[in-house]
């Protein structure tokens, strides 16, 4: 039996030709140097930081070159599929400003290179697999799971490389009549790629002839053993494995750059061999590295089980501003980003030119402290009005009861968020929603409570006395100097030093100093021993709220 007869027997329903698809999906009309990239997530439901990291790199490469960035859902493994996973991924990435030009989306699909869900492309894959079979480059294999397990057992016992290859590929050269008989009898089959015999003849993996080199966009030249495996390219049921699916898709969708995880480096030889067998040029592969953290002084991979910060949801829940997360990811993604940022402090992050060769390849350290620092810098550049909107939206989205208070008066919230941000040395402590909310809750009567203890050195009876003295002297019209002068007078009248240095010189003469008196007032007004500038806080709280809080402690 000829190979093409076998191909016809295996795929009787495939009437399209490879040429048909080549014509249907022509080379894209894009300016020279434009890159076509994609995100190819499996819809498992768990959206992690790695998705965003990878999406950001792909998006930057495409959009800064005038190219195309598309979304392809890699759903050929239905066991791992979770309903609605693709939609939530699109929504999560959108939150961080990552937009696709074409592909799968919550509203359906757009673009001329679809379908963009692999499960809907079965016929396309089969057409090209049929071609490989017709050319003798792929063959049906009937090995059962038990037979494969037995082969693995034997290989383990002999300390041989596991897998279906060489003499272990028992159905590679089955007599044609036998193949025909099994297919007609309805025996289940998969299609395996027929690895070139010349690789075996070239000697062991280490032999120069058995190796090939390829340039990785991140890692430079990689030298790897050529493929020896007869890998499965089409599974029983007619859907492809990742190996074949991405080769066919990235060719037909005219992808120019593939940025993907380093776990795929070991299958790169298979992918390159498949591109060769198809007569296609592979895209530029760029293998990233894993995200790591330091834990007890040791670096380790971020883990789904142990590290909530691996989930993308975490950042939204905690209220990190999308621009801050983006900025931080760029910091860890491209080694020259920080330098660029120092030289261009006010520029939007998308003005930075992202390059794959500046991407790390030996474990990227993801450090929450650093994220917070970057976030503080980023928030400082956002005007109070934008910050107020962000905080309110975040609180609403998170379903927090505080949201209602924030929503009531935007001008009030703006003033609160702007405290100390506009001077020469602006305050840089606002980092993320949950923390900011905690900082500012005392501005809202419904959320205000006394949290810190009164200063220990102040006799309890002095507290109402100091507060009523302050209330009696209070004037909303005081400027900062006049205001503080009143506190000094109040301190002196009650046996406290008007200046800390007087107290230091003669501690036995005083109960404390003006700082302790301010602390008492601060606690009465904010509930806390530490806060931003008290005068400014009073200006924002307003006269009646300030006076009411003081009266409440008398
Ligand atoms: N579906 C693959 C994954 O989720 C995509 C790898 C790729 O981008 O090629 O790992």
Summarised one tens digit per residue, pLDDT across range 355-388 is 999 998 888 999 999 999 999 999 999 999 999 9
Does residue 243's CB lie within 6 angstroms of at least one atom of ligand 1?
A: no
pLDDT surpasses 80 at 441: yes
294-381 maps to which CATH number?
A: 1.10.1160.10
Reduced to 3 states (helix: H, G, I; strand: E, B; else coil), residue 69 is strand
pLDDT surpasses 70 at 523: yes
Which CATH number does the domain 462-552 belong to among 1.10.10.350, 1.10.357.10, 1.10.10.10, 3.20.20.70? Answer: 1.10.10.350
Cα–Cα distance measured from residue 56 to residue 149, given in angstroms and rounded to the nearest whole number:
41
Cα–Cα distance measured from residue 139 to residue 172, given in angstroms and rounded to the nearest whole number:
7
Does residue 41's CB lie within 6 angstroms of at least one atom of ligand 1?
A: yes
Reduced to 3 states (helix: H, G, I; strand: E, B; else coil), residue 485 is helix
Give the residue, out of 36, 216, 246, 288, with the most ligand 1 atoms within 8 A of its beta carbon, to mutate for a pocket test.
Answer: 246
Q: How far is the CA of 20 from the centre of ligand 1 (A)?
A: 27
Q: How far is the CA of 34 from the centre of ligand 1 (A)?
A: 22
Domain spanning 3-15+121-288: CATH superfamily:
HUPs (3.40.50.620)
Phi first, then psi, for residue 378 (nearest 5°) are: -65, -45
The residue extents of the domains of the chain are 3-15+121-288, 294-381, 384-439, 462-552
Cα–Cα distance measured from residue 405 to residue 437, given in angstroms and rounded to the nearest whole number:
11
Under a CB-based contact definition with an 8 Å cutoff, are residues 458 and 512 in contact? yes
Which residue, judged by its Cα, is nearest atom 10 of ligand 1? 41
Q: What was the pLDDT predicted at 202?
A: 83
State which H helix or E strand residue 232 sits in: strand 232-234
pLDDT surpasses 80 at 78: no
Give the residue, out of 242, 266, 287, with the most ligand 1 atoms within 8 A of its beta carbon, to mutate for a pocket test.
Answer: 242
Which sign does the torsion angle of CA 186, 190, 195, 200 carry? negative
Q: Which residues of 185-224 are buried (b: 16+ CB within 10 A; e: fewer)?
A: eeeebbbbbbbbeebeebeeeeeeebebebebbbbeeeeb
Does residue 235's CB lie within 6 angstroms of at least one atom of ligand 1?
A: no
**Fold agreement between 3-15+121-288 and 462-552:** no
Under a CB-based contact definition with an 8 Å cutoff, are residues 202 and 209 in contact? yes
For residue 282, what pLDDT band results from cuts at 50, 70 and 90? Answer: very high
Does residue 74's CB lie within 6 angstroms of at least one atom of ligand 1?
A: yes
Q: How far is the CA of 75 from the centre of ligand 1 (A)?
A: 10
Q: How far is the CA of 16 from the centre of ligand 1 (A)?
A: 27
pLDDT surpasses 70 at 1: no
Q: What is the pLDDT of residues 155-193, one digit of tens each?
A: 999 999 999 999 999 999 998 889 999 999 999 999 999
Which sign does the torsion angle of CA 201, 207, 212, 218 carry? positive
Does residue 271's CB lie within 6 angstroms of at least one atom of ligand 1?
A: no
Which sign does the torsion angle of CA 36, 41, 43, 45 carry? negative
Reduced to 3 states (helix: H, G, I; strand: E, B; else coil), residue 521 is helix
Q: What is the pLDDT of residues 244-257, one digit of tens each?
A: 999 999 999 999 99
Q: What burial class does residue 234 get, using C-beta atoms within 10 Å of its C-beta: 0-12 exposed, 13-18 middle, 19+ buried?
A: buried
């Amino acid at each position: 039996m000829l190979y093409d007869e076998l191909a016809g027997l295996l795929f009787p329903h495939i009437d399209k030709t490879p040429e048909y698809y080549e014509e249907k999906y022509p080379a894209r009309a894009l300016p020279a140097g434009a890159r076509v990239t994609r995100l190819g997530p499996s819809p498992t439901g768990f959206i992690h930081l790695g998705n965003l990291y990878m999406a950001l790199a792909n998006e930057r490469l495409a959009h800064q070159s005038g190219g195309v960035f598309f979304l392809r859902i890699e759903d050929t493994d239905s066991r791992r599929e979770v309903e609605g996973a693709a939609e939530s991924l699109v929504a999560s990435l959108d939150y961080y400003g990552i937009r696709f030009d074409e592909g799968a989306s919550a509203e359906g699909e757009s673009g001329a290179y679809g379908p963009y869900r692999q499960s809907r492309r079965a016929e396309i894959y089969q057409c090209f697999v049929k071609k490989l079979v017709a050319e003798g480059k792929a063959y049906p294999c009937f090995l059962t799971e038990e037979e494969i397990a037995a082969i693995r057992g034997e290989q383990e016992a002999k300390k041989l490389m596991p897998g279906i290859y060489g003499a272990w590929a028992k159905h590679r050269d089955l007599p044609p009549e036998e193949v025909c008989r099994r297919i007609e009898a309805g025996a289940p089959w998969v299609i395996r790629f027929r690895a070139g015999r010349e690789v075996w003849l070239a000697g062991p993996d280490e032999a120069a002839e058995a190796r090939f080199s390829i340039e990785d966009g991140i890692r430079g030249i990689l030298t790897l053993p050529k493929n020896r495996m007869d890998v499965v390219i089409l599974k029983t049921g007619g859907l492809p494995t990742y190996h074949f699916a991405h080769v066919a898709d990235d060719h037909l969708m005219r992808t120019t750059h593939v940025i993907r995880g380093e776990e795929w480096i070991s299958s790169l030889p298979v992918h390159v061999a498949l591109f060769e067998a198809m007569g296609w040029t592979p895209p530029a592969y760029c293998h990233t590295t894993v995200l790591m953290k330091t834990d007890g002084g040791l670096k380790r991979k971020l883990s789904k089980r142990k590290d909530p910060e691996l989930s993308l949801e975490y950042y939204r829940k905690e209220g990190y501003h999308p621009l801050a997360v983006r900025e931080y990811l760029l910091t860890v993604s491209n080694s020259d980003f920080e330098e660029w940022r120092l030289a261009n402090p006010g520029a939007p992050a998308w003005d930075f030119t992202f390059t794959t060769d500046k991407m790390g390849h030996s474990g990227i350290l993801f450090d929450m402290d650093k994220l917070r620092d970057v976030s503080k810098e980023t928030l400082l550049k956002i005007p109070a009005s934008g910050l107020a909107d962000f905080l309110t939206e975040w609180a609403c989205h998170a379903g927090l009861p505080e949201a209602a208070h924030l929503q009531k008066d935007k001008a009030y919230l703006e003033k609160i968020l702007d405290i100390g941000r506009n001077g020469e040395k602006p305050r840089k402590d606002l980092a993320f929603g949950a923390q900011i909310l905690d900082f500012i809750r005392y501005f809202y009567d419904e959320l205000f409570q006394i949290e810190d203890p009164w200063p220990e050195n102040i006799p309890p009876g002095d507290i109402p006395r100091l507060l009523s003295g302050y209330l009696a002297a209070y004037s909303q019209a005081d400027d900062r100097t006049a205001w503080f002068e009143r506190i000094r007078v109040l301190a002196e009248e009650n046996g406290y030093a008007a200046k800390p240095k007087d107290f230091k010189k003669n501690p036995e003469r005083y109960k404390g100093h003006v700082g302790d008196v301010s602390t008492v007032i601060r606690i009465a007004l904010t509930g806390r021993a530490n806060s931003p500038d008290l005068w400014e806080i009073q200006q924002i709280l307003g006269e009646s709220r300030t006076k009411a809080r003081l009266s409440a402690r008398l």
